[in-house]
Amino acid sequence: DTGVSQDPRHKITKRGQNVTFRCDPISEHNRLYWYRQTLGQGPEFLTYFQNEAQLEKSRLLSDRFSAERPKGSFSTLEIQRTEQGDSAMYLCASSPRTEETQYFGPGTRLLVL
Partner 1 sequence: SQQGEEDPQALSIQEGENATMNCSYKTSINNLQWYRQNSGRGLVHLILIRSNEREKHSGRLRVTLDTSKKSSSLLITASRAADTASYFCATLTDSWGKLQFGAGTQVVVTP
Of residues 1, 14, 27, 40, which one binds partner 1 by CB under 8 A? 40
Which sign does the torsion angle of CA 49, 78, 9, 86 carry? negative
C-alpha separations of 82 from 22, 54, 63, 87 in Å: 17, 22, 12, 9
Number of residues that bind partner 1 (CB under 8 A): 29
**Contact call for residue 74 and partner 1 (CB under 8 A):** no
Can you point out the beta strands (E) in 19-102?
A: 19-24, 31-37, 44-50, 53-57, 65-68, 75-79, 88-95
Q: Residue 41: how many CB atoms within 10 A of its CB?
A: 10
> Which is closer to partner 1, CB of 18 or CB of 111?
111
We find the least distance from the C-beta atom of residue 54 to partner 1, in angstroms, to be: 11
Query: Could you say whether residue 42 binds partner 1 (CB under 8 A)?
Result: yes
Q: Does 104 bind partner 1 (CB under 8 A)?
A: yes
Does position 33 interact with partner 1 (CB under 8 A)? The reply is yes
Q: Which residues bind partner 1 (CB under 8 A)?
A: 4, 6, 31, 33, 35, 40-45, 48, 55-56, 89, 91, 93, 95, 98-107, 109
